[in-house]
Amino acid sequence: MATIVLGVQWGDEGKGKLCDVLSSEVQICARATGGRNCGHTIVIEGTSYDFHMLPSGLLHPSTTNLIGPGVVLHVPTFFSELATIEAKGVQNARQRLKVSTRCALNLDLHAAADRLREGQLGTKNIGTTGKGIGPAYSSKAERSTVLLADLLDDDEFGDRIRAMEKDYKLRYGGDLGGYDVEAEIKELQNFREKIRPFSVDDIEFLAEAQEQGKKILVEGAQSALLDVTYGTWPFVTSSSTTFGGVMAGLTLDYRKVDSVIGVLKAYTSRVGSGPFPTEDFGEVATKLQEIGREFGVTTGRRRRCGWLDLVSCKYSHNVNHYDALNLTKLDILDTFQEIKVGVAYKHPDTGEVIKGFPASAKLLSRVEAVYKTLKGWNTTTTGIKKFSDLPREAQDYVTFIEDFLGVKVKWIGCGPNRDDIATR
């Protein structure tokens, strides 16, 4: 049976903690999409573990971890991140880590092109991480990139990278910000035999696992509102971050998917550019940023913050059809006297309530959010383990979200530590 964990909002909801909890109950933890632009942080007994390229299931000594073919693989990050978690005491990580030979490579060349493209866009930039994820997926779609299988078995893989570099020079001009194609090819050649022991045929690996009835956890990357099709286009990532993307990025038997879990923050945050109807520009945003430590794991950028937007969450549910929800960072709202929740959008020209979630980023940036104001609880929730132990006002907040979305909130994050989760 497979459980899929997906982000409901614009990412940074705290998916890593739930994945960490559920990883102890499965035999395989897998990534399906995205690349090193992801950022999951898990805190265990005061030690913080940041995951960008690797699945967070590596923290559990009995869990095998797979990077699936829908992921774009940055080989140097694969090894540097592995070395970092090993230095922090993670045991047998190398024996429990697999990567699909069908992964397209995310090259430093892609990162150079990404930064040049963002620079050309100026004030209209997307706000990417600068890690080259968009160009990596574009190269895959153009059939010009290098797969891990090519690195392992094709001595002419370097010619493809040289051809891509030539194309980018024609497109952007100059020296690509100092990028050295021969240095990258040499570095990858040095990694060839190092990464070979980790490389697997993911089709055979997952087929055997599913035949044996092994439990599989899929660790989602980014979130629904960043999906390349369903997100706030063009201010999105370059892969499919929804349920459909998981099914394309891993060969799961759809009949064996047990549940799809959505993770949403008790408020809303966003990194980079793009529309954000409930964004706050004053004291509320500053308070959420400081108490919630809203700084990107991957970029270090201060996240834009605002009240919970249930209109976008309902849209996300209509895309992914969640079976249950994990509400995170409830404790960040502990000191708010009143808490607002976005429950509708009004059209900026007519004042009429808009049905659904606009596809136009321009319109979405102009809508007026309609709020429901709820009473705060003004007491600490940190460390609470049972829903019934939460303050009445906090319980009301959770049930209001459930009633609006029509999905049960099964887990509630009440603090930064690994076990700071209330269950229902």
Active-site annotation holder among 12, 20, 108, 309: 12
- Of 107, 105, 109, 106, residue with least CA distance to 165: 109
Amino acid symbol at 391: P
Backbone angles phi, psi at 81, to 5 degrees: -70, -40
Whether the Cβ atoms of residue 103 and residue 67 lie closer than 8 Å to each other: yes
Q: Judge contact between 376 and 293, C-beta under 8 A.
A: no
Indicate the DSSP class of residue 418.
Answer: T
Partners of residue 368 on adjacent β-strands: 346
First-to-last alpha carbon distance for the chain, in angstroms, is 22
Contact at 8 Å (CB) between 308 and 267?
yes
Provide the residue type at 95 as one letter: Q
Residues 6+ apart with CB under 8 A from 237: 34, 37, 133, 134, 222, 226, 227, 228, 231
The number of C-alpha atoms within 13 Å of 63 and in the hemisphere containing its C-beta is 25
* Cβ–Cβ under 8 Å, residues 246 and 101: no
Q: Is 180 a catalytic residue?
A: no
HSE-CB of 383 using CA atoms within 13 angstroms = 2
- Give Cβ neighbours of residue 204 (< 8 Å, ≥ 6 apart): none
Active-site residue, selected from the candidate residues 20, 40, 110, 202: 40
CA distance 85 to 63: 15
Read off φ and ψ for residue 344, nearest 5 degrees.
-165, 165
- Counting every residue written for the chain, the total comes to 424
Rg (CA), the chain: 22
- State yes or no: is 52 an active-site residue: no
What angle is formed at CA 79 by the lines to CA 419 and CA 242, rounded to 5 degrees?
55
Which residues are annotated as catalytic? 12, 40
